Amino acid sequence: MTEANFNGQAVRVGVVGAAGRMGQHLCQLVDDAADMQLAARVVEAGQSGGVPLAAVDANSVDILIDFSTPHATGAVAEWVTAHRVAWVLGTTGLGAAEQAAVTGAARAVAVFQASNFSVGVALLTELAARAAAVLGLDADIEIVETHHHHKRDAPSGTALTLAKAVAQARGQDLAQVRRDGRSGLGDERPRGEIGMHAVRLADIVGEHEVVLGWPAERLRLCHDARDRKVFAHGAVRAARWLAGRRDQPGVYGMADLLGATATSKLPTDARAR
Cα-trace Rg, the chain: 19
- Based on the residue annotation, tell me whether 148 is a catalytic residue of this protein: no
Pairing of strands 140-147, 206-214: antiparallel
- Based on the residue annotation, tell me whether 151 is a catalytic residue of this protein: yes
Q: Is 183 left (phi over 0), alpha (psi -120 to 50) or beta?
A: beta
CB 14 within 8 A of CB 42: yes
Q: Which of 83, 148, 151, 233 is catalytic?
A: 151
Residue 234 identity (one-letter amino acid): G
Helix (H/G/I), strand (E/B), else coil: 229: helix
Helix (H/G/I), strand (E/B), else coil: 228: coil
Q: Which of 25, 71, 83, 147 is catalytic?
A: 147
Residue 216 identity (one-letter amino acid): A
Question: Catalytic residues, which ones?
Answer: 147, 151
